[in-house]
Amino acid sequence: MEKKKIIMIFCSIVILTCSLVSFYGIIPKFIPFNNPLSVDYIQQGKYSGCYLVTSVSGPVVIIDKYGNLKWKGSPGFFIHDSDMLPNGNLIIAATWNDLVYEVDIDDPKNILWSWNATNVSDINWTKFANDRGWSDFPSYESNKPILGPWAYVNDVDFINGSKFGRNYDSLLLSLRNLDLVIEVNYSDSKEIVWWYGQPNNLTLLNHQHEPDRIDNGNTIICDSENDRVIEINSTTKEIVWELKLKFPYGKFRWVRDCDDIGNGLRLITDSGNNRLLVYDTKSRKIIKEIRNPWLSTPYESDLLDNGQILVGNMLGGNILFIDYDSEAVIHVIGFPYNWAFPFLLICFGIIYQTVQFTKAVKKSKKKSYRKIFDFQVYRILIYILTSVLALYFFNTIVSYLWIFLFEG
C-alpha cells in the first residue's frame, strides 16, 4: 500500500510539473502581451483603431481588437508605460533602466531621444536638490541599488506646449522611488521645468502613479501609498481637490489611475480592491462602483468615445472592455493564463474533497445530522469551505499578495 502511495505521489508531481511547463512555457509564447499595465486606444495614424499595450515583462506592442500583433518594440524588461507622440513615434518609460526614450515607429531599434534619471548629462540631481534646499536628497551615487531601478520611472505623458501657451513641448514623468513628479522639456533642453513632491517628504507624495495634466492646467496624481487622489494647481502647487474614501467604500488600496472624463466626473482605478470608481466632483459622491470577477488588479482605465471603459487588467493578464452603463464586460483581449492553473487546481481540489466528504458521511456511524460532527466528516467539510472561500476571493488574495510582496 505504501509503495502504491509513493508511486501515485510521484506520478502526480510529474503531471503537475508537465502541466506547469505547458502553461507557463508554451502558452505564453502565443500571447502578444503579458500582465498589461498601460493600454491606450490609438485614434490616428497608420495604427488607428488599434491598441498600444505596455506590459510588465515587455515588449511594447500594438494589437488590434482581436489580439493580432501589428507592431512590436524592443523587448526591454519591466517597461511601465508608453505613449503615442503626435509625430507617430512612441515615448517609453523603461522602469528597470530609469530611462525614458523615443522609438522610431518605423524602426523600433532606432532611439531618437532619451532622458536618463541616472545620467548627469541629462539631470544634475545634486544641483537640482541644492537649489531647492533638499539637504537629504538620496543621490544615485550613495543609494545605487544592487539590483533594480533607482528612480523607478513608472509613467510618461506627452504634454502639447501650445495647449498651455508655451513654445515647447514637455513630458510629465513619475519617479516613484523618489516620491517626485517632474516635467521635462522635450523640445530642446531636457531641463526640469516643473515638479511636485520631495524625496523623504511622504506627506506630499508616497509612491505615486499616473500623473495627468488636465485641460484646466492642473495635475491629477494618484498618491498611492497615502491612499488618496489629489489635484494640484500647477502654478501654486496647492491641493485644490483631494479624495480619500469613507465608509462604506473602505479605503483605496494602491490607487493607480484617475482620469477627468468630463462633466465633473473622475474615473478611478483602485487596483488593490479590484474595482473601478466614478466620482462626481460636483455632488462629492461616488456614483459608480464597478466590480467584476474579471477584474484582477486593474492598472489603468480609460473611457472611450463609444461609451466603453478600456482596462489594462494587470494580474488578469488581459485587456477588458466594460460597458459604462451596464458595467458588464463585453469584450476581452487575451487569456488569463497566469492564474488559470492554480484556479483549476482549487476547483479540482473541491471536487476531490466533495467525493471524500460523501464517502466519510457513508462511513460515519452517527445518525442523521450528527454525522456532520464526526471528525473525518467535519475535517473534510472545513477543507471544502476553505477552498470555496479561496475560489470566491481568488482575485482579492492574489492582489493583496502582489501588493505585499512587490509594491509595499
- Rg over alpha carbons for the chain, rounded to the nearest Å, is 25
Q: Say if residues 31 and 57 touch (Cβ distance below 8 Å).
A: no
Q: Order the strands of the 329-333 sheet from edge to edge.
A: 298-303, 308-313, 318-323, 329-333
Q: What is the pLDDT along the chain (408 residues), one digit of tens a residue?
A: 567 777 777 777 777 776 666 665 666 666 677 789 999 999 988 999 999 999 877 689 999 999 899 999 876 678 899 999 999 999 999 999 999 999 999 998 899 999 999 999 999 999 999 999 998 888 887 778 888 899 999 999 999 999 999 999 999 999 999 999 999 999 988 999 999 999 989 999 999 999 999 999 999 999 999 999 999 999 999 999 999 998 889 999 999 999 999 999 999 999 999 999 999 999 999 999 999 989 999 999 999 999 999 999 998 889 999 999 999 999 999 877 777 778 888 888 999 999 999 988 888 888 777 878 888 888 999 999 999 999 888 888 888 887 777 665
Q: 27-73, pLDDT tens digit by residue?
A: 666 667 778 999 999 998 899 999 999 987 768 999 999 989 999 98
Same domain, 114 and 179: yes
pLDDT for residue 71: 93
pLDDT for residue 1: 52
Distance in angstroms (rounded) separating the CA atoms of residues 380 and 386: 10
β-bridge mates for residue 160, sequence order: none
Which residues contact residue 223 at a Cβ distance below 8 angstroms, ignoring those fewer than 6 apart?
205, 206, 208, 229, 230, 255
Asked which of 293, 322, 337 is the last residue of a domain, the reply is 337
Same domain, 229 and 297: yes
Q: Say if residues 98 and 117 touch (Cβ distance below 8 Å).
A: yes
Same domain, 352 and 290: no
Same domain, 398 and 323: no
Share of the chain above pLDDT 90, in %: 63
Total length of the chain: 408
Distance in angstroms (rounded) separating the CA atoms of residues 129 and 186: 21
| Domain count for the chain | 3
Distance in angstroms (rounded) separating the CA atoms of residues 95 and 87: 23
Name the phi and psi angles at 102, rounded to 5. -100, 130
Q: Which residue has the cell 509612491?
A: 207
Same domain, 330 and 346: no
Same domain, 114 and 202: yes
pLDDT for residue 25: 61
> Can you give the residue range of the structural domain that contains 43?
35-337
Q: Say if residues 123 and 117 touch (Cβ distance below 8 Å).
A: yes
Distance in angstroms (rounded) separating the CA atoms of residues 34 and 338: 9
Q: What separation, in Å, do the N-terminal and C-terminal C-alpha atoms of the chain show?
A: 48
3-class DSSP state of 14? helix
Q: 105-160, pLDDT tens digit by residue?
A: 999 889 999 999 999 999 999 999 999 999 888 888 777 888 889 999 999 999 99
Distance in angstroms (rounded) separating the CA atoms of residues 272 and 267: 16
CATH number of the domain bearing residue 323: 2.130.10.10
Same domain, 328 and 365: no
Same domain, 271 and 374: no
Distance in angstroms (rounded) separating the CA atoms of residues 255 and 245: 11
Instruction: Please state, rounded to an integer, the average pLDDT across all residues of the chain.
Output: 89
pLDDT for residue 322: 97
Same domain, 356 and 326: no
Asked which of 283, 303, 337 is the last residue of a domain, the reply is 337
pLDDT for residue 258: 97
Name the phi and psi angles at 4, rounded to 5. -65, -40
Residues 300, 43, 209: CA angle, nearest 5 degrees: 20
Which residues contact residue 194 at a Cβ distance below 8 angstroms, ignoring those fewer than 6 apart?
170, 182, 183, 234
CA 55 to mean position of chain CA atoms: 9
Same domain, 328 and 387: no
Same domain, 109 and 251: yes
Q: Say if residues 166 and 187 touch (Cβ distance below 8 Å).
A: no
Same domain, 365 and 315: no
Asked which of 291, 310, 337 is the last residue of a domain, the reply is 337
